[in-house]
Amino acid sequence: MQACLQTMEPDLASFQLLPPSNKETLIPSEMYRLEHIVSETLLEDLEEKGKALVDASAEEIEKWKKEESHPHFVLEKLPLSPGKSLLSIKERAAVLAYMTVLMQLFITRKRTAQGIPVLTEVPHSIKEHISETLFQETSTASGRSQRYLTKLSKSRIMIHLLLLALHVDGFETMLDPLQKDTGVSQTIMHRYVRSLGGKTKKIQDKEKGCSTPGSYSKYQMQLTAPLTIVTRNTGKPARHKRR
């Protein structure tokens, strides 16, 4: 799946972009609980699509890679194994299926749900959840209410993608595949990470030595404990004003 969207500046001024969080815990999985992003019931509704990933043969996976029919982030996880994630293989597969939908929403140029093909291919419960939580409701000139996929929606989708990736990977996830899938620049991607209280860690490409011409660094995302949310303007933790 190729990203076809120009990189955009995230709108991180509003905390409503973030799902509920626990700023006191030191346990990564408790900072942003999975059910606050996608419920267990919704993951069960994605079981069939997740099963297709679990049951994929080596030949099918190789075909998907050549055709680029699935996100890079998903393909790099196949074949699925327990890994360091707290999720079962079945749960990880369902989350990856959900992330595939979110990535297609992020790169689409369509603004309404009716014009987005991927939303016709998912269970009604998933479409309804996405419409209610990720689309922005606005009023038309005639006073009618309509939900649109706006810039704010795209920022919210990216935040959810990053948090889901952390759950899938055991709270240490590489950013490079997500950048390829979404077309987001490294600078903006790192800003998204900071906005949810995470940090990035530079990791030298193991396939090339540090002194090898053309070698480059990859970046890993982690959550810092306790969770600290940063502001968009200063890049520093928000502080309460003195009274």
The model's pLDDT over 50-102, given as tens digits with 9 standing for 90+, comes to 999 999 999 999 999 999 999 999 999 999 887 889 999 999 999 999 999 99
Asked if 99 contacts 76 with a C-beta cutoff of 8 angstroms, the reply is no
Contacts of 66 (CB under 8 A, 6+ apart): none
Residue 5 domain-assigned?
Answer: no
Residue 111 domain-assigned?
Answer: yes
Residue 65 domain-assigned?
Answer: yes
Structural domain including 78 reads: 15-171
Q: How far apart are CA 62 and CA 140, in angstroms?
A: 47
Residue 208 domain-assigned?
Answer: no
How many distinct structural domains can be found in the chain?
1
Q: For residue 65, what are the CA distances in angstroms to 74, 119, 241?
A: 10, 23, 52
pTM: predicted TM-score of the whole model, two decimal places: 0.84
Residue 209 domain-assigned?
Answer: no
Confidence grade of residue 148 (pLDDT, cut at 50, 70, 90): confident
Q: What is the mean pLDDT of the chain?
A: 84
Asked if 12 contacts 232 with a C-beta cutoff of 8 angstroms, the reply is yes
pLDDT at 39 over 50: yes
pLDDT at 210 over 90: no
Among candidate residues 152, 173, 13, 148, the one with its CA nearest the CA of residue 92: 173
Q: What average pLDDT does range 123-127 have in this prediction?
A: 94
Q: How far apart are CA 34 and CA 90, in angstroms?
A: 15
Residue 151 domain-assigned?
Answer: yes
Residue 22 domain-assigned?
Answer: yes
Kindly report, residue by residue over 153-206, the tens digit of the pLDDT.
Answer: 999 999 999 999 999 999 999 999 999 999 999 999 999 999 999 999 998 765
Residue 196 domain-assigned?
Answer: no
Q: How far apart are CA 72 and CA 69, in angstroms?
A: 9
